[in-house]
Amino acid sequence: MDTYSGEIFGYLWRLLGGRPDAEDCLQEAFLRALRAYPRTPRLRNPRAWLYRIATNTARSHLARGARHLARTADLDARLASPASSVADAFDHRQRLEAVAAAVEALPPRQRAALLMRKYQELDYPAIAEALDCTQAAARANVYQALKKLRHQLDPVAKTERMA
Protein backbone atom coordinates (compact mmCIF):
# COMPACT_ATOMS: atom_id res chain seq x y z
CA MET A 1 0.00 0.00 0.00
CA ASP A 2 2.81 2.40 0.87
CA THR A 3 4.47 1.76 -2.47
CA TYR A 4 1.51 2.39 -4.77
CA SER A 5 -1.10 4.46 -2.89
CA GLY A 6 0.27 7.85 -4.01
CA GLU A 7 0.34 7.11 -7.72
CA ILE A 8 -3.00 5.28 -7.68
CA PHE A 9 -4.54 8.20 -5.78
CA GLY A 10 -3.29 10.57 -8.51
CA TYR A 11 -4.74 8.29 -11.18
CA LEU A 12 -8.11 8.11 -9.42
CA TRP A 13 -8.11 11.88 -8.86
CA ARG A 14 -7.69 12.48 -12.57
CA LEU A 15 -10.12 9.73 -13.53
CA LEU A 16 -12.86 10.87 -11.14
CA GLY A 17 -12.13 14.58 -11.13
CA GLY A 18 -11.89 15.30 -7.44
CA ARG A 19 -10.23 14.56 -4.15
CA PRO A 20 -13.22 13.22 -2.14
CA ASP A 21 -14.18 10.68 -4.82
CA ALA A 22 -10.55 9.66 -5.31
CA GLU A 23 -10.05 9.16 -1.56
CA ASP A 24 -13.19 7.03 -1.31
CA CYS A 25 -12.21 4.90 -4.29
CA LEU A 26 -8.61 4.53 -3.13
CA GLN A 27 -9.75 3.21 0.21
CA GLU A 28 -12.28 0.88 -1.42
CA ALA A 29 -9.72 -0.33 -3.99
CA PHE A 30 -7.20 -1.27 -1.30
CA LEU A 31 -9.92 -3.01 0.72
CA ARG A 32 -10.87 -5.00 -2.39
CA ALA A 33 -7.22 -5.83 -3.01
CA LEU A 34 -6.74 -6.96 0.59
CA ARG A 35 -9.80 -9.23 0.38
CA ALA A 36 -8.79 -10.65 -3.01
CA TYR A 37 -5.11 -11.18 -2.24
CA PRO A 38 -5.45 -14.57 -0.50
CA ARG A 39 -7.37 -15.94 -3.52
CA THR A 40 -4.94 -14.49 -6.05
CA PRO A 41 -2.26 -16.72 -7.52
CA ARG A 42 1.27 -15.37 -7.63
CA LEU A 43 1.14 -11.85 -9.08
CA ARG A 44 3.38 -11.12 -12.05
CA ASN A 45 2.72 -7.39 -11.87
CA PRO A 46 1.18 -6.18 -8.59
CA ARG A 47 1.16 -2.58 -9.83
CA ALA A 48 -1.03 -3.45 -12.84
CA TRP A 49 -3.23 -5.62 -10.64
CA LEU A 50 -3.84 -2.67 -8.31
CA TYR A 51 -4.57 -0.38 -11.28
CA ARG A 52 -7.15 -2.89 -12.50
CA ILE A 53 -8.83 -2.92 -9.10
CA ALA A 54 -8.71 0.89 -8.92
CA THR A 55 -10.16 1.23 -12.42
CA ASN A 56 -12.99 -1.19 -11.63
CA THR A 57 -13.65 0.58 -8.35
CA ALA A 58 -13.88 3.94 -10.15
CA ARG A 59 -16.24 2.46 -12.76
CA SER A 60 -18.47 1.11 -10.00
CA HIS A 61 -18.38 4.46 -8.26
CA LEU A 62 -19.45 6.29 -11.42
CA ALA A 63 -22.12 3.71 -12.22
CA ARG A 64 -23.70 4.20 -8.79
CA GLY A 65 -24.59 7.72 -9.87
CA ALA A 66 -21.68 9.59 -8.34
CA ARG A 67 -21.66 13.32 -8.87
CA HIS A 68 -20.53 14.62 -12.26
CA LEU A 69 -16.85 14.80 -13.02
CA ALA A 70 -15.13 17.96 -11.89
CA ARG A 71 -12.45 19.51 -14.02
CA THR A 72 -8.92 18.48 -13.17
CA ALA A 73 -7.28 21.74 -14.20
CA ASP A 74 -6.41 22.56 -10.56
CA LEU A 75 -4.41 19.35 -10.23
CA ASP A 76 -2.56 19.97 -13.49
CA ALA A 77 -1.97 23.66 -12.78
CA ARG A 78 0.73 22.79 -10.23
CA LEU A 79 2.78 21.34 -13.09
CA ALA A 80 2.56 24.49 -15.17
CA SER A 81 5.28 27.10 -15.37
CA PRO A 82 4.49 30.49 -13.85
CA ALA A 83 2.86 32.92 -16.27
CA SER A 84 4.52 36.23 -17.09
CA SER A 85 1.31 38.27 -16.86
CA VAL A 86 -2.29 38.09 -15.72
CA ALA A 87 -3.42 37.69 -19.34
CA ASP A 88 -0.98 34.79 -19.83
CA ALA A 89 -2.18 33.16 -16.64
CA PHE A 90 -5.80 33.51 -17.78
CA ASP A 91 -5.02 32.04 -21.22
CA HIS A 92 -3.09 29.19 -19.64
CA ARG A 93 -5.98 28.45 -17.25
CA GLN A 94 -8.45 28.40 -20.13
CA ARG A 95 -6.25 25.97 -22.08
CA LEU A 96 -5.99 23.68 -19.05
CA GLU A 97 -9.75 23.74 -18.60
CA ALA A 98 -10.28 22.94 -22.29
CA VAL A 99 -7.91 19.97 -22.04
CA ALA A 100 -9.59 18.76 -18.84
CA ALA A 101 -13.03 18.99 -20.46
CA ALA A 102 -11.81 17.15 -23.56
CA VAL A 103 -10.30 14.37 -21.43
CA GLU A 104 -13.54 14.09 -19.42
CA ALA A 105 -15.49 13.69 -22.67
CA LEU A 106 -13.46 10.65 -23.75
CA PRO A 107 -15.04 7.20 -23.46
CA PRO A 108 -14.14 5.66 -20.07
CA ARG A 109 -11.76 2.99 -21.41
CA GLN A 110 -9.86 5.51 -23.55
CA ARG A 111 -9.69 8.00 -20.69
CA ALA A 112 -8.34 5.33 -18.31
CA ALA A 113 -5.75 4.12 -20.83
CA LEU A 114 -4.61 7.67 -21.58
CA LEU A 115 -4.27 8.59 -17.90
CA MET A 116 -2.34 5.41 -17.15
CA ARG A 117 0.05 6.01 -20.05
CA LYS A 118 0.60 9.78 -19.92
CA TYR A 119 0.19 10.61 -16.22
CA GLN A 120 1.05 7.37 -14.47
CA GLU A 121 3.68 6.35 -17.06
CA LEU A 122 2.58 2.71 -17.17
CA ASP A 123 3.82 0.60 -20.05
CA TYR A 124 1.39 -1.05 -22.46
CA PRO A 125 1.62 -4.53 -20.90
CA ALA A 126 0.62 -3.04 -17.52
CA ILE A 127 -2.21 -1.01 -19.07
CA ALA A 128 -3.45 -4.13 -20.88
CA GLU A 129 -3.42 -6.09 -17.64
CA ALA A 130 -5.14 -3.28 -15.72
CA LEU A 131 -7.89 -2.90 -18.34
CA ASP A 132 -8.14 -6.65 -18.98
CA CYS A 133 -7.41 -6.33 -22.68
CA THR A 134 -4.63 -7.06 -25.15
CA GLN A 135 -1.57 -4.85 -25.52
CA ALA A 136 -2.81 -3.95 -29.01
CA ALA A 137 -6.13 -2.81 -27.53
CA ALA A 138 -4.31 -0.78 -24.87
CA ARG A 139 -2.25 0.94 -27.58
CA ALA A 140 -5.38 1.51 -29.67
CA ASN A 141 -7.20 3.10 -26.73
CA VAL A 142 -4.34 5.50 -26.06
CA TYR A 143 -3.99 6.29 -29.77
CA GLN A 144 -7.73 6.93 -30.23
CA ALA A 145 -7.82 9.11 -27.11
CA LEU A 146 -4.92 11.24 -28.33
CA LYS A 147 -6.43 11.48 -31.81
CA LYS A 148 -9.75 12.71 -30.35
CA LEU A 149 -7.99 15.21 -28.11
CA ARG A 150 -5.91 16.60 -30.97
CA HIS A 151 -8.97 16.95 -33.15
CA GLN A 152 -11.03 18.62 -30.43
CA LEU A 153 -8.27 20.96 -29.25
CA ASP A 154 -6.78 21.90 -32.63
CA PRO A 155 -7.82 25.54 -33.26
CA VAL A 156 -7.57 25.11 -37.06
CA ALA A 157 -9.90 22.12 -37.00
CA LYS A 158 -12.39 24.06 -34.86
CA THR A 159 -12.59 26.98 -37.25
CA GLU A 160 -12.99 24.63 -40.22
CA ARG A 161 -15.84 22.79 -38.44
CA MET A 162 -17.61 26.06 -37.70
CA ALA A 163 -17.33 27.30 -41.30
- Residue 65 has what pLDDT? 56
Asked whether the beta carbons of 29 and 53 are under 8 A apart, the reply is yes
**Distances in whole angstroms, Cα of residue 146 to Cα of each of 11, 28, 49, 99:** 17, 30, 24, 11
Give residue 80's Cα distance to chain centre: 18
- Residue 6 has what pLDDT? 92
Three-state SS at 115:
helix
Sign of CA dihedral 144, 127, 15, 155: negative
- Residue 92 has what pLDDT? 73
- Residue 44 has what pLDDT? 84
- Interval 46-91: pLDDT, tens: 899 999 999 999 988 887 753 443 444 444 444 444 555 667 777 7
First to last CA, the chain: 52
Residues of the chain with pLDDT under 70: 65-86, 156-163
Number of C-beta neighbours around residue 29 at 10 A: 26
Q: Which fold has domain 5-162?
A: Butyryl-CoA Dehydrogenase, subunit A; domain 3 (1.20.140)
Number of C-beta neighbours around residue 121 at 10 A: 9
